Structure formats: C-alpha cells, structure tokens
Structure 1
C-alpha cells in the first residue's frame, strides 16, 4: 500500500519559509478551509489571535504530484546540519558545463529570495553529475541537482 507524504519543517517564520519554498518549487499556498475566501477569514472565524497567525503554513504542488510541505513554528533555532534534505531537480537532462550553468542560474534566482550558497560540487563522471548546496532562509540545507 502506498501512502501520501507530507514534509514538515520546524521553523521560526512559517509564512516566510512557505513563500520561499513555494517560489523554489513552483508550489502555491494551500487553500483556506472550505467556506472561506481567505486564510484571514478562516483564522478570524476560528478565533486565532493576530499574534498566533504565523504559527503554521503549508504549500502544495498545483499539479498534485509532489508532497505537501508544512511549516510549523518552534521556539528553538536550528542548531545542526539537516539529517534529511530536499534535492531540487533544476537541470534535468543537462550535462557538464550546461548543467552547472543551469544550476548556477537557479541558485542566483533562489539567492534573490533569501537562499544562501554553501558549496559547489563539480561533476565527477561517471556517477556524479555535479550539484550545488544551498540553505533556505532559515538555514535548512538543500541541493540543486
């Protein structure tokens, strides 16, 4: 039996991190509950105080293929390297210099949204086609490959 998967991020700013990952992956914010035109209306109806409205956020794949990403506020800061990370496929079908140029271009786009470059791994055939390691705005590492 297969199961749906949701990937959860502990973070300080759920709305900000959700916006970054929506941009990085071509996702969109999850819709508000049925019967509400906006999240503000839903949160008002639920009685959620304004200072708690950034406790959680979620983004979804508009085509319904990828997993839902859920962002939840936690009090502690990130302290160590991720044990699990996302690989963002940014250069499918490309090799060599063309692949690395496409990865660098995508890295620059994501840097403009708050990503931080960490390191570059140049291609080492036959098994490693090369990739870039970046961190999202809260320091979660991910790869562009």
Structure 2
C-alpha cells in the first residue's frame, strides 16, 4: 500500500474493469480518479470510497453502476462528478445536474433518513416486544 501513498491521479478508463479494489480507497492523497468507460463490466464502487477525502474529481461515466455506497457522503472535496450512462437507481437526475456537491449532500441526507427510519423501526419493535412480553406474563 505504500506504493500508493503519494498517488494524486489515476486513470483506469477503457480497461474493462469488473471492480475497483477496496485497497484503492487507502490512497488517501488521490485527487483525481477516472474509472469511466469500463462499460458493462464495472457495476459498483468500493464501499470504502469515502476514505478518499481529498478526491476532487471522479469520472465514473459509461459503466453499469446502479448505486453509490453510503460512504460516498464523505467525499466533501468532490467538485467534478461524471455519472453519464450509468443506470443509477437512487440518484435523481436533477441532483446530478446540480453538481458533485449536490450529490454528496443528497447522499448525506439519504443516509441520515435511512438511519432515522432504522431507529424508528427498532423503537417500534422494542415497543411491540414489550407489549408481547406483558401479554405473555399476564397469562
């Protein structure tokens, strides 16, 4: 991993990649990443992509990426984002058109909403479990 310690730019476009290795996410000095044009082969981003805190430019165009990992919200320095020709499912086109920071903000809000929903579900389960316990103990 020390060989990537000073990596600033990486272009692996047009290589028919099937995946981006998680280990790339430890290249924390990376500023520009081009994984575009891997076409039908590249279907996802690594879950730890948010570790690339200095990333300013990401080209992931012309792939088959459907979802952005939750860690995407940590890319606070991202200024340029190319997502064209990906079947992104959770990202509204109008958010993409507003730019990279709008996408990062959207991911923040999405994660926050899911966390809130998850907590609400846990509280409901806890409440229902308590009632079930009370019902069993009174019988």
TM over 0.5: no
Larger Rg: 2
State the TM bucket, normalised to the shorter chain. under 0.3
Larger RCO (alpha carbons 8 Å, 6+ apart): 1
